[in-house]
Amino acid sequence: MEFTATQIAGLLNGVIEGNPDIKVSNLSKIDEGLPGTLTFLANPRYNHYLYSTKASIVIVNQDFIPTQPVGATLIRVTNAYSSFARLMEIYSETTTHQGAISQKSSVALSASIGKDVSVGDFSYIGERVTLKDNVSIHPQVYIGPDVTIDENTIIYPGVKIYPGCTVGKNCVLHSGVIIGSDGFGFAPQSDNNYQKIPQLGNVVLEDDVEVGSNTTIDRATLGSTVIRKGVKLDNLIQIAHNVEIGQNTVIAAQSGISGSTRIGKNCMIGGQVGIVGHIIIADNVKIGAGSGVEASILQEGAVMLGAPAIEIGKARRNFIHWRKLDEIVKKVYSIEKLVNKTHE
């Protein structure tokens, strides 16, 4: 699909410098730009590529001042990075949504299917499922009974959504995601065996949530595991039963959150973070990669690091001391020897 500079500027409320009729049909990096592609410039370290790129259109910030002649058509916007991200989203929508239901898929007669819904080969849509307008289901997806998926959501191949779960508008579930599998609930018995506790709740993903590949979100024992609006989850994350994650929180890969923990809004959690169950993490908290959170963090905006996680300034000082531990021990031993000689 081709777009002119005029059309792109209209989408971004941008101002054109150059040929308004020039057309592009693909995207590129600025240092690898080819004719017919669109790119962007946001980082000053890449300014020099603007003068050599072969890309036809470049999105730049409003305040950018070129120091050499520019061959490409420029579109000036308030934020070049955000504007390019928006265009990538539009491009993705045009290339992934087919608007057709494959004859090789299985769709229950009781399912409710909206307008322009796409269902790929060998996908299964269960009884009483609701797929709202413009939902895109890729091949080999399982959607269990009584699931609701709202408008403009994309479900990539291999996703499994267990019965009774809800997915909001404009969500993206990447390959291998599992929504609504049983929480890890087992009651210890007197004979050292474990009795399974039925997991009767569901999972609720609100609008604009993105879940990375092979991430799992367990259903609640009772009630709902809730992922609030705008949350972004990386690949290979485990979210346990009855967890609640607040709006616009982001979590990096290989992190795990134990059951019934409440995480606030606008938090940033690094990779390989482990969080115990039944605690509260306040809004705007940042947790460094590899940390282990063993207790509630009630101070809004706190920055934590380490295992167990502590305030980042203290963690860094402790790390400096730890690097000098061998030297400190040697000094202690030498002082001890000196003290012993003094008392002889």
Nearest to 57 by CA among 85, 101, 23: 23
Specify whether 138 is catalytic.
no
Contacts of 121 by beta carbon, 8 Å cutoff, 6+ apart: 102, 104, 105, 139, 140
DSSP assignment of 55-97 equals: -SEEEEETT---SS---SEEEEES-HHHHHHHHHHHHHHHHH-
Dihedral of CA atoms 241, 247, 253, 258 in degrees, nearest 10, equals -20
Q: Is 87 left (phi over 0), alpha (psi -120 to 50) or beta?
A: alpha
Going by the DSSP 8-state scheme, the letter that residue 135 receives in this structure is -
Residue from 97, 174, 241, 278 carrying the catalytic annotation = 241
Contacts of 24 by beta carbon, 8 Å cutoff, 6+ apart: 2, 3, 5, 8, 36, 37, 38, 56, 57
Give dist(CA 148, CA 169) in Å, integer.
10
Question: Is residue 44 helix, strand or coil?
Answer: helix
Q: Which residues participate in catalysis according to the annotation?
A: 241
